Copies of this chain bind each other. A is one copy, B any other.
Amino acid sequence: MNLSGRNLISTLDLSPEEVRGLIDSARALKAGEKEARLAGRVAALVFFNPSVRTRISCESAMARYGGSAIAVQPGKDTWNFECGEGVVMDGNTQEHVRELAPVITRMCHFVGIRKSELITVGSAQGAATGSYDELAKDEFLHRFMEFAEVPVVNLESNRWHPMQSLADSTTIVERLGKPEKKKYVLTWTWHPKSLPVATPHSQLMSAVNLGMDVTVLRPEGYGLEPEVMRLARERVEALGGSLQETDDQEAAYKDADVVCAKAWGSLDYYGRFEQEAIDKAPLRDDWIVDEEKMAKTGDGIFLHCLPVRRNIVVTDGVLDGRHSAVKDEAENRLWTAAAVFDALAPK
């Protein structure tokens, strides 16, 4: 795989062949059949939001092959960047992305950026900091990329989380062999918080990129971003798979080969999180993934990006049972990260 000098904002930046190339590369690295060419290479990882597994997977990927990663956690409050043109910077922004991007990218070989206004930590619900449409533009990330001089990798933005997408695709290929035309279900689940949509958007693409028959299973009012659905549909049609949305759990689980569970907030409610919590309360018991539902699948595997709230999103029985592939999925974050950095490196 040679993606030398490219950026990775979502897997839509990659052709389906390139996605398959990265999966093959990740599996070869995992099997010890090849080494990533990362010796002496340095990745700066800029985390505006906290991260554990993304950070460890990227750092470990670099370190195993003689490279290195520098994780920077600026803190949203103390490091404010300007993205606007012609601005007189007498307010609370201290640095313009026109300087920041070249400075960091002159010092490193790759830059990873996690910047989501939608991620919150702990039990607190986030405050809405703009309209969803505005946030979905991922302005900082795109502006950074514009002035960057080395490849930029999105480590989760408001809209996309491509590293999760690639790890999920890799796990599906590992387990299913040939996933084309097999049935993939992305099921919404209830959660006490209104979680971001970047991960379900990218999980959707993990199956779309493999030419699967994809079902997005969610209650009315919990659809993913319409433009993301449109982009997915475009790719589905090109690849010969299918894509449908439904709230019929019975039909969705039936004969599924993959069930991927994820909680996310309703875009219709965006910013009205307390009201959403009240209105979605009745959905709690009905939308958990349990053994009874999994029994309806075609001996399907279970995926979740983790962390997961047990017995809320999915039961202990499913998570600890033989269909669960969540540990492999997490481990594959490491190998896909190594494959991505290897592919982006200058040749």
Query: Which residues of A approach B to under 8 Å, CB–CB?
Result: 40, 42, 44, 50, 52-53, 55-57, 59-60, 63-68, 70, 72, 74, 77-80, 82, 86-96, 98-100, 102-104, 106-108, 121-123, 192, 306-312, 316, 319-320, 326-327, 330-331, 333-334
Q: Of all chain B residues, which has the CB nearest A68?
A: B63
* A312→B60 CA distance, assembly (Å): 42
Residues of B within 8 A of A307 (CB): 94-96, 99-100
Residues of B within 8 A of A68 (CB): 59-60, 63, 68
The 9 lowest CB-CB distance pairs between A and B, nearest first, are A95-B307, A63-B68, A106-B331, A89-B309, A103-B330, A88-B311, A78-B121, A92-B123, A102-B327
B106 close to A334 (CB less than 8 A) = yes
A333 close to B107 (CB less than 8 A) = yes
Q: Of all chain B residues, which has the CB nearest A288?
A: B88
Residues of B within 8 A of A312 (CB): 88-90
Residues of B within 8 A of A67 (CB): 63
Residues of B within 8 A of A103 (CB): 53, 306, 327, 330-331
A106 close to B63 (CB less than 8 A) = no
Q: Of all chain B residues, which has the CB nearest A100?
A: B307
Residues of B within 8 A of A122 (CB): 77-80, 92, 94
Distance in Å from the Cβ of A167 to the closest Cβ of chain B? Answer: 11
* A229→B53 CA distance, assembly (Å): 40
Q: Of all chain B residues, which has the CB nearest A309?
A: B89
Distance in Å from the Cβ of A240 to the closest Cβ of chain B? Answer: 34
B56 close to A70 (CB less than 8 A) = yes
Known interface pairs A56-B72, A103-B330, A122-B77. Does A310 touch B108 (Cβ–Cβ under 8 Å)? no
Distance in Å from the Cβ of A287 to the closest Cβ of chain B? Answer: 14
B50 close to A78 (CB less than 8 A) = yes
A310 close to B65 (CB less than 8 A) = no
Residues of B within 8 A of A64 (CB): 40, 42
* A24→B89 CA distance, assembly (Å): 36
A327 close to B96 (CB less than 8 A) = no
Residues of B within 8 A of A95 (CB): 306-308
Distance in Å from the Cβ of A283 to the closest Cβ of chain B? Answer: 14
Other CB < 8 Å A-B pairs besides A88-B310, A96-B307, 12 of them? A52-B104, A56-B108, A59-B70, A89-B311, A92-B123, A94-B122, A94-B307, A95-B308, A98-B310, A98-B319, A99-B319, A99-B327
